[in-house]
Structure 1
Amino acid sequence: MARPKFLPDNFTLMLVGTVIIASVLPCKGEAAVAFNWITNIAIGLLFFLHGAKLSREAIVAGATHWRLHAVVLLSTFVMFPVLGFALKPLLSPLVTPALYTGVLFLCALPSTVQSSIAFTSMAKGNVPAAVCSASASSLLGIFITPALVSVMLVNHAAGSGSAWHTVGNIVLQLLVPFVAGQLLRPVIGKWLDRNRGVIKFVDQGSILLVVYSAFSEAVNEGLWHHIPPLALGGLVVVNAVLLAVALGLTALASKRLGFSREDRITIIFCGSKKSLAAGIPMAKVIFASHAGAVVLPLMLFHQIQLMVCAALAQRWGARDMSRERHAAASRNAAAPAAARR
């Protein structure tokens, strides 16, 4: 039996369960130190496998569509930060300052890869361009996100004495494993293509480890005493408004710029989404022990964007199939008339 599209997926339920476990049984003392090492190793392995999985042919196939990629990157790294600050007077009273710090961090993150491509394909968009845009966003985010955070949250990036120090940490923990995986793709790429479950296991497992570690540290510092229930409800509103505005602006801009329907779909899905897989490891590197409250907006935004974009992709995909059936029926009806003439 298929899961209703507006119910959380299994991974989201695991995320919620991890937060509950960390809230009740947080990791402390020497166990926390050991857990932190394990988490760092898992993050490195995650980016290593993503580097090995990324096909150079797929990047080359979509790389020529530079106008589309420029719009997606501007949406991801310019539009979102501007929205984060522009909407702050309206939305920040709904949440705590710590949670809005997480919202601004969310605005600085790269786009997703897997779900952007999946939704673009489902809605009959330009899939090769989506592969290229989403992959480029993820890779560039390793450099752009810490630089944006250093500008947007100059007093909040705990553990990062300067933008260069943060970039150095990101490069060491994320980019180096990514490049190593890309270099070893000729050796292990085919094996990974046959065993995609390995990447999914490491992907989800590393995120759960980071979430448990981050929330354990935050709970030990009194996280839930500083976030009232009303602020969590306000966070839902903040994320929903942010996503709605981003979807509307990407749709409007792509139409005004004269892109085809397929390209507009790609721009909307790649330019309006944010990566949980990249964001949670980056939060751990950038914010150190203060990552717990920072990742809450991202976790919630992740679920909202999946539900909304799944509904849009299904609707647009069904509309496209309806057009194709109508066109086929028209051709079939016209064929006998042409034969009689």
Structure 2
Amino acid sequence: MKIKVDRFVIAIIIVILIAYLYPNLGSKQSAVPFDLIGTIGISLIFFFYGLKLSPDKIKSGLKNWKLHLVVQLTTFLIFPLIIIAFKPLILTEESQTLWLSFLFLAALPSTVSSSVVMVSIAKGNIPAAIFNASISGLMGIIITPLWIGLFLQHTTGDFNIESIYISLIIQILIPVIIGMLLQKYWGKFAIKYKNQLTLFDKTIILLIIYKSFAESFDEDIFSSVSISDLLLLFTMVVALFYVVYFITGFISKKLHFNTEDRITAQFCGTKKSLVHGTVFAEILFPSTMSIGFILLPLMVFHAVQIFIVSIIATRLAKREQLNKESTPL
């Protein structure tokens, strides 16, 4: 079985390597206005996101409410509760930061592009995947800060939920709403140039990742992180993925979902958005915390979810093809 290597994952690794070799360019003392570029880029990303959201498709997607409920509860409730269950084991300040980075990962919304692509490959319910991933992104603007605020305000004094929501509304929600209002006029433009817009999205995300890791390397944040720590982090991320994947599958069976809906529930319910993660991290966490360290589990999870789900999707697609070929005419 041939598995394609995701080029965006490779690009992330290259960007982190560049940040390691040339941290000064992205440090806080840099003359390059990464913050301004990121702020404008983020608003444009979510403006284009709004252009792609069709109100009619969202309305028609509400019919399969059981499937949507499973996906959203998995994304915003089951995921965080799994991480919160390990909170009593956190004893040191360093492990507290790592735990917060995992909670941040768990509280993020699902991602649109990879969810829909993987569901499509596996022959799942594509309209439901589009609906859930789209709604998840909007819900995350409200829910993700609430989860983080429950615990971050106990560890840092400058967590202000009101200012965070103002930033999220200005940078994300308003551009999305404007995009949705203009969807009937410019929606065809967004569909026609979706590949170019995706490239723009990824470029902005890579710039934010570079800046975050350059600052972390410049301040020597990762000096205490060993290879064994990275291997442990990787193991934890893989375990988290499979736990949620099997929980979602179990719930889907209990609710008697058909194969297409079960695929959609498991694929969308286990996804986490790197786009929202990089954007939210800049807004939610104070400047005293290393954004690069906060993003580390998310980026590992991003690579893991693409790799594992692509294997599962390919196998499901082959099984579907074999079933069709074995069905008598």
Superposition TM-score, scaled by structure 1 size: 0.89
SS at match of 1:259: coil
Residue 128 in structure 1 maps to residue 124 in structure 2? no
Contact 1:91–1:238 at 8 Å: present in 2 too? no
- Give the equivalent residue in structure 2 for 1:293: 293
SS at match of 2:285: helix
**Alpha-carbon distance in 2 for matches of 1:273, 1:110:** 8
Q: 1:314 to 1:189 in 2, by over 3 A?
A: same
Give the Å deviation of 1:96: 4.3
- Give the equivalent residue in structure 2 for 1:334: none
**Alpha-carbon distance in 2 for matches of 1:66, 1:254:** 13
Deviations 1:186-214 (A, max 9, x none): 22211121111221121101100110111
SS at match of 2:109: coil
Contact 1:126–1:262 at 8 Å: present in 2 too? yes
SS at match of 1:154: helix
**Alpha-carbon distance in 1 for matches of 2:59, 2:195:** 26
**Alpha-carbon distance in 2 for matches of 1:155, 1:229:** 30
Deviations 1:289-339 (A, max 9, x none): 331100010000000000110111111121112112211xx23xxxxxxxx
- Give the equivalent residue in structure 2 for 1:35: 34
Residue 270 in structure 1 maps to residue 271 in structure 2? no
SS at match of 1:11: helix
**Alpha-carbon distance in 2 for matches of 1:279, 1:157:** 20
Q: 1:139 to 1:229 in 2, by over 3 A?
A: same
Give the Å deviation of 1:230: 1.6
Gaps of at least 5 residues in structure 2 are: none
- Give the equivalent residue in structure 2 for 1:45: 44
Superposition TM-score, scaled by structure 2 size: 0.92
Give the Å deviation of 1:84: 0.8
Q: 1:281 to 1:156 in 2, by over 3 A?
A: farther
Deviations 1:220-251 (A, max 9, x none): 22212132222111110010000010000000
Residue 13 in structure 1 maps to residue 10 in structure 2? yes
Q: 1:147 to 1:29 in 2, by over 3 A?
A: closer
Alignment map for 1:134-213 (pairs within 5 Å): 134-156=133-155, 161-213=159-211
Question: After the TM superposition, which parts of structure 1 deviate over 6 Å for at least 4 consecutive aligned residues?
Answer: 89-93
Give the Å deviation of 1:115: 0.9
Contact 2:71–2:269 at 8 Å: present in 1 too? yes
Alignment map for 1:293-312 (pairs within 5 Å): 293-312=293-312
**Alpha-carbon distance in 2 for matches of 1:236, 1:89:** 21
Amino acid at match of 2:322: S
Q: 1:60 to 1:268 in 2, by over 3 A?
A: same
**Alpha-carbon distance in 1 for matches of 2:319, 2:10:** 31
Identity %: 36
**Alpha-carbon distance in 1 for matches of 2:60, 2:156:** 38
Give the Å deviation of 1:61: 2.8
**Alpha-carbon distance in 2 for matches of 1:285, 1:32:** 21
**Alpha-carbon distance in 1 for matches of 2:17, 2:31:** 17
Give the Å deviation of 1:124: 1.2
* Residue of 222, 229, 246 corresponding to 2:244: 246
**Alpha-carbon distance in 2 for matches of 1:29, 1:258:** 53
Q: Radius of gyration: which is bigger?
A: 1
Amino acid at match of 1:24: L
- Give the equivalent residue in structure 1 for 2:314: 314
**Alpha-carbon distance in 1 for matches of 2:269, 2:12:** 25
Contact 2:125–2:261 at 8 Å: present in 1 too? yes
Amino acid at match of 1:279: G
SS at match of 1:31: coil
**Alpha-carbon distance in 2 for matches of 1:77, 1:229:** 31
Deviations 1:268-306 (A, max 9, x none): 011111111111111111114331100010000000000
Q: 1:40 to 1:156 in 2, by over 3 A?
A: farther
Q: 1:313 to 1:180 in 2, by over 3 A?
A: same
Gaps of at least 5 residues in structure 1 are: 332-341
SS at match of 2:178: helix
Contact 2:128–2:264 at 8 Å: present in 1 too? yes
Give the Å deviation of 1:22: 1.4
Give the Å deviation of 1:89: 6.4
Residue 65 in structure 1 maps to residue 64 in structure 2? yes
Q: 1:86 to 1:146 in 2, by over 3 A?
A: same
Amino acid at match of 2:21: V
Q: 1:62 to 1:10 in 2, by over 3 A?
A: same
Q: 1:47 to 1:247 in 2, by over 3 A?
A: same
Deviations 1:40-98 (A, max 9, x none): 111111111111122223222321111111111100010001111224567999x9443
**Alpha-carbon distance in 2 for matches of 1:178, 1:157:** 30
